Amino acid sequence: MNTLNPFKNLKADFPASIVVFFVALPLCLGIALASGAPLFSGLISGIVGGVIVGALSGSSVGVSGPAAGLAAIVLTAIGSLGGYENFLLAVVLGGIIQLVFGLLKAGVIAYYFPSSVIKGMLTGIGFIIILKQIPHFFGYDNDPEGDFAFFQLDGENTFSEISNAFSFISPGATLIAVIGLGILLLWDKVLSKKGKFFQVVQGPLVAVVAGIVYFVISEGNGTWEISKEHLVSVPVPNDTASFLAQFSFPNFGAIARPEIWVTAFTIALVASLETLLCVEATDKLDPRKRVTPTNRELLAQGTGNVVSGLIGGLPITQVIVRSSANIQSGGKTKMSAILHGLLLLISVLLIPNFLNKIPLSVLASILLIVGYKLAKPSLFKTMYALGWKQSVPFVVTVLGIVFTDLLVGIGLGLAVGIVVILFKSFQNSHFLHIEDKSNGKQKIKMTLAEEVTFFNKGAILKELDRLPTETQLELDVCKTRYLDNDIIEILEDFSLKARNRNIDIRLVSERGIAENPESFIQFFKLSPKV
């Protein structure tokens, strides 16, 4: 793995960490709210995901924290397990199971997802970010940040929520969102090319500061003020004791309950799958194309979930929204992920009241830019140019993510990808070459592929049935290393048909040449290669 020194790139990593911090803050709170968990639990998992997982991970640009894909699981589990402390035990055990996955080298699963599906995942998430942020952009915030599923927890869906937003536009929130978006575009397209200052001081930071200034100035101004529900809502402790009271601890007395273990395994499986998918996607986005060691990532995530569960946090995965924001902001090493976690910790400790002056609409403008960069229209053109075998799984994945959720969308894309593979296997079972007539018979040579399985039955059977009478068939299996028994049975049955149709069969193998073999089954039993 080609990793840069994390301490020599602070000029790039620190500004990137600030952007990731502003992206992560509302998502941590929103996912906690959507999960039916204490708001502070989302911040705990964000801090642990940044500092601990970031330090242990082999990913240079991946960022971890609470994930939207687990919100429904968490919500159900808290209710069914009889309290949050019991759920935390499941999180700890889920982390231990992830550690076992890492030790068993289960990270290899990440390499079995087709590129078209991973690109579809990135694009689909880009669309989801854009669609989900439109209501927040206009100051309509009934649905919490981080609820990325099509069918929302409040009974609405993605498109009905957008429709409602246009009926309840908040002028103040919309105005500062437009100003923030203008600042971001100006910074990205013009100012960042003008000097180092504009590269160090990121546009998102300026947009957030502008949002805070606007909130302070407009407060009490009726129409143009930003109401409390349109602001970040970080829990504010009164003293050290009330701060410490926000931490929760697992109930180890429930460890013998079977439902705890079922939930733990579910968390471990879903969190590991989301992480591995994100790792693949993040590596594709990384300008330096570094490869993340997947087994090490499972060990890092497992450790993070153990720690998060022990102190009252939500389950953790690597998250594409944070990771892509990190990459787009110029993050070069894991230090940006660690620093974003430290910023979450410091801000929650020292300036919670200040954070609660940040308009959600400004943060929505930041996420809109992140979403657009993930779902650029040019990518559709590129995928279309690659042909239907790439574009169909890509489009199915995008639509699946937009209209269901992340894991279902990935599953649909993967299913279509498997069908495409099977179709290609069906087509590539053999090579047919028609040669000149010799001895009054047309000679046809069929060369079987290196591996021929039952998937190829249809193609081979069809080709054999099409052979004309009075033909000499040369069947070449010299390069075949695996020949499924189903194919051998087809050849056995065809040998009987061949005699009736006056077709001579010449079998060429590494063992030699056989003319009209009495039994293909017996021949291949003797063959050491096939």
Q: In CATH, what number is assigned to the domain containing residue 493?
A: 3.30.750.24
Top pLDDT among 238 and 394 is at 394
> Once rounded to an integer, what is the mean pLDDT over residues 436-456?
76
**pLDDT attached to residue 2:** 46
Q: For the chain, how many structural domains are there in total?
A: 2
Is 421 domain-assigned?
no
Report how far residue 241's alpha carbon sits from residue 384's, in angstroms, rounded to the nearest whole number.
59
Domain boundary among 353, 382, 401: 401
Which of 270, 240, 276, 316 has the alpha carbon at shortest distance from 51?
A: 316
Is 215 domain-assigned?
yes
Domain boundary among 366, 386, 401: 401
Q: Are residues 155 and 196 in the same domain?
A: yes
Lowest mean pLDDT among 85-94, 208-217, 498-507: 498-507
Residue 437 predicted with pLDDT over 70? no
**pLDDT attached to residue 439:** 60
Q: 188-197: which pairs have CB atoms within 8 A and are 24 or more residues apart?
A: 188/369
Residue 526 predicted with pLDDT over 90? no
Query: ∠150-53-375 over CA atoms, to 5°?
Result: 35
Is 4 domain-assigned?
no
Is 522 domain-assigned?
yes
Report how far residue 173's alpha carbon sits from residue 10's, in angstroms, rounded to the nearest whole number.
34
Residue 359 predicted with pLDDT over 70? yes
Q: Are residues 456 and 397 in the same domain?
A: no
Is 124 domain-assigned?
yes
Lowest mean pLDDT among 53-62, 303-312, 438-447: 438-447
What is the full DSSP assignment across 129-140?
HHHHHHHHHTT-
Q: How would you label 325-344 residue by residue, b for 16+ Cβ within 10 Å and e otherwise?
A: bbbbbbbbbbbbbbbbbebb
Question: In the structure, what pLDDT confidence band is assigned to residue 434 with cuts at 50, 70 and 90?
Answer: low
The top-scoring range by mean pLDDT among 57-71, 135-149, 307-321, 433-447 is 307-321
Which structural domain, as residue segments, surrounds residue 468?
Answer: 428-526
Beta-strand relationship, 430-438 and 64-66: unpaired
Q: Are residues 382 and 488 in the same domain?
A: no
Domain boundary among 401, 419, 439: 401
pLDDT tens by residue, 492-523: 889 888 888 888 999 998 878 888 888 888 88
**pLDDT attached to residue 432:** 56
Q: Are residues 201 and 300 in the same domain?
A: yes
> Once rounded to an integer, what is the mean pLDDT over residues 395-415?
91
Residue 211 predicted with pLDDT over 60? yes
> Once rounded to an integer, what is the mean pLDDT over residues 284-300?
93
Is 194 domain-assigned?
yes
> Once rounded to an integer, what is the mean pLDDT over residues 195-216?
88
Report how far residue 317's alpha carbon sits from residue 271's, in angstroms, rounded to the nearest whole number.
5
pLDDT tens by residue, 236-248: 988 888 888 999 9
The top-scoring range by mean pLDDT among 147-151, 272-276, 470-474, 486-490 is 272-276
Q: Are residues 173 and 230 in the same domain?
A: yes
Mean per-residue pLDDT over the chain, rounded? 89
Is 142 domain-assigned?
yes
Q: Are residues 461 and 501 in the same domain?
A: yes
Lowest mean pLDDT among 68-77, 143-152, 177-186: 143-152
Q: Are residues 140 and 197 in the same domain?
A: yes
Q: Are residues 135 and 173 in the same domain?
A: yes
Q: Are residues 173 and 290 in the same domain?
A: yes
Q: Are residues 519 and 372 in the same domain?
A: no
What is the full DSSP assignment across 34-86?
HTTS-HHHHHHHHHHIIIIIHHH-S-SS--EEE-GGGHHHHHHHHHHTTSHHH
> Once rounded to an integer, what is the mean pLDDT over residues 216-242?
89
pLDDT tens by residue, 33-51: 888 899 999 999 999 999 9
To the nearest whole percent, how much of the chain has pLDDT over 90? 54
**pLDDT attached to residue 427:** 59
Report how far residue 325's alpha carbon sits from residue 371's, in angstroms, rounded to the nearest whole number.
9
Pair 110, 279: CB distance under 8 Å? yes
Q: 73: which residues sit within 8 A by CB, 6+ positions away?
A: 263, 266, 267, 270
pLDDT tens by residue, 39-88: 999 999 999 999 999 999 999 999 999 988 888 889 889 999 989 999 99
Residue 69, both tokens = 């894909």
Is 419 domain-assigned?
no
Q: Are residues 396 and 494 in the same domain?
A: no
Residue 3 predicted with pLDDT over 80? no
Strand partners, 483: 452
Q: Are residues 449 and 377 in the same domain?
A: no
Residue 530 predicted with pLDDT over 60? no
